[in-house]
Copies of this chain bind each other. A is one copy, B any other.
Amino acid sequence: MNHQELAYLADRYRTTLRLAVYVSRRLDGVTGLSTTALSILNMVAREGLRVGVIAENLGVRVPSATEQVGRLERAGLVARGGDPADARAVVVRRTPAGDAAAADANRRRNARMVDAFGALAPEELEALRAALPAMDKINERLHAATNHKEHIA
């Protein structure tokens, strides 16, 4: 693929992603949980994660993660705990209510998505599945490239 084709593909992909963002936002309305909140619930299964790790996984700064965790805590879906090995750390764990809420939200959102898959031919579904590893790599690469701007500048 030459450079011009790559640039075209970049443009096409950007456009598609933008629309997907809005669609993703619409999915939020289906459940009471935002995409971000559900992501946190999904990553902090019972074993628990530190706030900093949550922020890193989400791709946001630590204070943003703190606020999300606070919101989930107020809703009774997670609990904050200390790390015996490091008193600075805060470990976030899911409560039983959080387990239930996460399972329900995942089920509903997946159902919506599966319904949307109904618009696709079998080979299109296969194409989608085949593209996921590439998309993940792009996500990683762009995340790494832009995450530490201030450290460079």
A interface vs B, CB < 8 Å? 1, 3, 6-7, 9-24, 26-27, 29-30, 35-36, 39, 58-60, 106, 109-110, 112-120, 122, 124-143, 145-147, 149
Taking a contact as CB atoms under 8 Å apart, the answer to whether A6 and B117 are in contact is yes
Which residues from B are CB-within-8-Å of A117? Answer: 6, 9-10, 138
Q: Which of A27, A30, A114, A142 has the most CB atoms of chain B within a 10 A radius of its CB?
A: A142
25 contacts between A and B (CB under 8 A): A3-B114, A7-B114, A11-B110, A13-B128, A13-B132, A18-B24, A18-B35, A18-B36, A19-B139, A20-B21, A21-B24, A22-B59, A26-B59, A27-B142, A29-B146, A29-B149, A112-B142, A113-B138, A115-B141, A116-B141, A117-B138, A118-B141, A124-B133, A124-B137, A125-B134
Closest 4 CB pairs of A and B: A131-B131, A10-B113, A22-B59, A124-B134
Question: How many whole Å from A27's CB to the nearest CB in chain B?
Answer: 7
Besides the known contacts A22-B58, A27-B146, 5 further A-B residue pairs in the complex with CB atoms under 8 A apart: A13-B128, A18-B24, A20-B21, A23-B143, A113-B142
Taking a contact as CB atoms under 8 Å apart, the answer to whether B134 and A128 are in contact is yes
Question: How many whole Å from A59's CB to the nearest CB in chain B?
Answer: 4
Which residues from B are CB-within-8-Å of A146? Answer: 23, 26-27, 29-30, 112
